[in-house]
Structure 1
């Protein structure tokens, strides 16, 4: 498959304005991570497991598809792009929409090329998207809308792309994991226009890799200093909920913080997709209990939810720090087959 293209800048600042913060500048890294309950989870030790290999099936690739033109906080147009991998199959392929991480600060659709290709070679069309982020004045509402818009575009062009829009899943990592959890529980309901529900934005399954859920407790498992770093207005959680320039902490805006929590939307969900949640026990950026509280809430609402805990695993490959070695637990064949098996069960069944 072609090498990933060089990503375009996510945000171009006015030269007279301060440069927007970058993920490595605003992400807090815990010095300790408390153990969380694994009694309702599948525990996997990825140490020594073989890595995935590619080449099992021919893939076709489309790059830089503009799926929507949104606006930033100043009303400037923001073209949003996606890349699409489609396996060589006789029938339209089930769709998996991949939403990358980036600390709510960047959204590089080129991330995770090997694991995306592995899922595509398993028989799924995999679309990877850009979405609006904090430097563009975005809050969680606009970013979730971008996920919905990507689903609408793919469904509108299903025949052209060779995808089966009756079988659709979301898959996200880190910030993307949070966004797919939100989009999944909303089931097509809009946060920008609560009176609107679009069935073209609904999905059958969600894969959430180490995503947050209750942003007010994102550091709950961490050392006191890291917890304290999330109490003000200048952390990524507060900026993503209230806006980059709001000057408000999550405690200052409890209603917005509740709206930003996928668990708050479970009671109003007419139906819930199946969920697969995965987290590492050594994640220093998003507390492992974040996927646990979502998993337990989903199960309490009768949803099909499975949580997998990877012993000793950190926060993916920490792409914002260019540290790929730490991501090896997430690209083992065992870990990735948990994802592809879940997708087969929920989309092929």
Structure 2
């Protein structure tokens, strides 16, 4: 019997103005027991965003095509991913840290899926999107389950957001804290602590990239779960921003204006709560939030995937970071998914197939192949 499927909006609208958003499927069961992975649907419970949210999303009407000479173009067509062939042990709501933000303690939890057989498994930390305004760890259960069934321990984590008063440095610190926690408890959960990757989408893609390029940098470590390494061996970045001051560079004027609204969530994640600045206001400060600033030849291997029709994050964002990493001697590969949008925008378009490319065997197989190459 197929489990009940729920569409969840993983990002809310920016606190002031527009924000990056992503939507994906989640599921109300904890075990993979069906032949098909849960797929995004339109009209189900939770399919619609909060009142007024859709009207405020900074969707681009025009997108300038970016150079693909250093990328591989794929179409994302073909059959959807299949689940239910590997038994998984799922443990939900594990508290990995309780940092203090805005004078309040914020318990941060993760959900963990581990194949039941085969010994210690390489770890993949999944980072959901949410425009830095939300971090729903229950998202994308279909894709997470698929990756776990290929032989990986997959942990989907909560992290602080601008609603907690957190900046990008503190949020990256949360990711690293989760990595240290899981390394410390590797034997308990059946994890190989020597093999860790981060995989993120949208804002989560940005955090994955930042985590990868800041291996060993003290200012991003935070204080949670000391005594373990937070270094990662591979990074998967799906349609994440990089140079946030240019996040709408490929878009029409109206979309640029919305993304660059002073004080929005993008500005707050860089400058802090209550800022009245735009992300374009102080280039030197914004540059410190750009993963390219920290890249060097010692960084782990990267793979990027971006839709050519992304209306929320300019495709040139992953291109610029990819090219920068390559110039610094980092092993980086980039795929452009032809005509794909920004994850699942079915709640706006009414198209039940809006996210099908991202859950195809072609796209997910590309991710699994990369993880297998670098973690096994």
* Deviation (angstroms), 1:296: 0.2
In the TM superposition, what whole-angstrom CA distance separates every residue of 1:34-61 from its partner, at most 9, and x where no partner exists? 10011111110123x1101101110000
What corresponds to 2:30 in structure 1?
none
Q: Is the 8 A contact 1:258 1:264 kept in 2?
A: yes
What corresponds to 1:181 in structure 2?
209
Q: Is the 8 A contact 2:132 2:203 kept in 1?
A: yes
Task: Give the 5 Å matches for 1:19-34.
Answer: 24=53, 27-34=57-64
What corresponds to 1:162 in structure 2?
190
TM-score, structure 2 as length reference:
0.83
Q: Secondary structure of 2:210's partner? A: helix
Q: Is the 8 A contact 2:91 2:112 kept in 1?
A: yes
Q: 2:3 & 2:212 partners in 1: Cα distance? A: 31
What corresponds to 1:249 in structure 2?
278
In the TM superposition, what whole-angstrom CA distance separates every residue of 1:169-217 from its partner, at most 9, and x where no partner exists? 00000000000000100013233579xx987111010000000000011
Q: Is the 8 A contact 1:184 1:273 kept in 2?
A: yes
* Deviation (angstroms), 1:250: 2.2
Q: Secondary structure of 1:98's partner? A: strand
What corresponds to 2:293 in structure 1?
264
Q: Secondary structure of 1:82's partner? A: strand
Q: Does 1:92 align with 2:120?
A: yes
Q: Is the 8 A contact 1:4 1:113 kept in 2?
A: no
Q: Secondary structure of 2:274's partner? A: coil
Q: 2:209 & 2:366 partners in 1: Cα distance? A: 18
Task: Give the 5 Å matches for 1:10-25.
Answer: 24=53
Task: Give the 5 Å matches for 1:94-109.
Answer: 94-109=122-137
Q: Is the 8 A contact 2:263 2:275 kept in 1?
A: no
Q: Secondary structure of 1:200's partner? A: coil
In the TM superposition, what whole-angstrom CA distance separates every residue of 1:139-183 from its partner, at most 9, and x where no partner exists? 111110110000010000000000001111000000000000001
TM-score, structure 1 as length reference:
0.89
Q: 1:192 & 1:44 partners in 2: Cα distance? A: 35
What corresponds to 2:73 in structure 1?
43
Q: 2:334 & 2:69 partners in 1: Cα distance? A: 10
* Deviation (angstroms), 1:109: 0.3
Choose which of 121, 141, 144 in structure 1 pairs with 2:149. Answer: 121
What corresponds to 1:344 in structure 2?
372
Q: 1:255 & 1:133 partners in 2: Cα distance? A: 22
* Deviation (angstroms), 1:229: 2.2
Choose which of 78, 84, 98 in structure 2 pairs with 1:69. Answer: 98
In the TM superposition, what whole-angstrom CA distance separates every residue of 1:289-336 from its partner, at most 9, and x where no partner exists? 000001000100111100000000000114886976311110001110
Choose which of 299, 312, 321 in structure 1 pairs with 2:326. Answer: 299
Instruction: Quickly say closer, same or farther: Cα 1:81–1:242, change in 2 above 3 A.
Output: same
Q: How many residues align?
A: 337
Q: 2:279 & 2:58 partners in 1: Cα distance? A: 16
Q: Is the 8 A contact 2:17 2:258 kept in 1?
A: no
Q: Is the 8 A contact 1:284 1:315 kept in 2?
A: yes
Q: 2:324 & 2:276 partners in 1: Cα distance? A: 31
Q: Any gaps of 5 or more consecutive residues in structure 2?
A: 22-52
Q: Secondary structure of 2:122's partner? A: strand
RMSD (CA atoms): 2.9
In the TM superposition, what whole-angstrom CA distance separates every residue of 1:83-127 from its partner, at most 9, and x where no partner exists? 000012222000000000011111000000010000000000000
Q: 1:2 & 1:64 partners in 2: Cα distance? A: 20
Instruction: Quickly say closer, same or farther: Cα 1:138–1:223, change in 2 above 3 A.
Output: same
Instruction: Quickly say closer, same or farther: Cα 1:36–1:129, change in 2 above 3 A.
Output: same
Q: Secondary structure of 1:276's partner? A: strand
Q: 2:16 & 2:259 partners in 1: Cα distance? A: 21
Which piece of structure 1 moves more, 206-215 or 234-243? 234-243
Q: 1:162 & 1:242 partners in 2: Cα distance? A: 39
Q: Does 1:131 align with 2:163?
A: no
